[in-house]
Amino acid sequence: MTHDTVGIAVAQFAPTASRQGNLADIDAATRAAAARGARIVVFPEYSSYFVDPFDASLAENAEDLDGPFVAALTALAAELDVVVVAGLLEKADDGRRVRNAVVAVAGDGIRSVYRKLHLYDAFGQRESDWVEPGEIVPPQTFEAHGLRFGLMTCYDLRFPEVARTLADAGADVALVPAEWVRGPLKEHHWRTLLQARAIENTFFVAAADHPPPLGVGHSMIVDPQGVALAQVGTATDVAVAHVDPEAIARVRRVNPALELRRFRVTPRCTRRREAADG
């Protein structure tokens, strides 16, 4: 570690139906990460509240962006001088579904908000029954400690266009809160996709998952060549990597893939998305 590196932590824990319990776990993990030099701490998807299977309690426990969950994150970030990134159940307009949001919070308040674009209607699940899909908006990024961070969530990993739009927006690091559901080959998919998104965009990726039995665990920070710099196994734990911002430029000098590509990403609205919206 040198004075030029930036500490990024992924904090792996299992959110529950106890909102206060989740905040207590976030508080403890953030303190542990900050003590090890982390300036950015990434938590999983649905960090504010989670039940399996989903039920009507999601909407009952959803919050606004100015609610107690974000207020607690702001106070914690201010005390420890960090940016906390975590999944939030946000209230939606219809009162029935919720928004699967990710908030990046510093001591002065919210830096960025991302609402999950690709809902998990796969592998026998239907997230869209309970969650309103995010609108297609410009990539959600924020700057801290000389790096630009971009936000995406879980199932978005299977859609390389999402990470590519972050790279186009100048992101140096993609932050990925997730609840990567366990199943045959799912751990293999998780690792492969995280490394692929890092390699093809020549940037860092930091992803935080739920541990087993629901998630696969293996939260990690991956460098622009796809190498895992730090990772958690299947326990509740924190991993910290001190990343070198200059590594991105070094890799891109040797592998200028972003400059050499001949295609751009454009939004596509499908009937399936329209059905999910309505």
Catalytically active residues are: 45, 116, 154
Tell the residue number behind the tokens 């003590």, with chain if given.
35
Tell the residue number behind the tokens 């996709």, with chain if given.
193
Which residue, 140, 215, 229, 150, is CA-closest to 180?
A: 215
In terms of C-beta density within 10 A (0-12 exposed, 13-18 middle, 19 or more buried), how is residue 135 classed? exposed
Q: Do 59 and 97 touch, CB atoms closer than 8 A? A: yes
What distances in angstroms separate CA 59 from CA 91, 111, 117, 246, one per listed residue? 7, 24, 19, 43
Tokens of 191: 């690792």
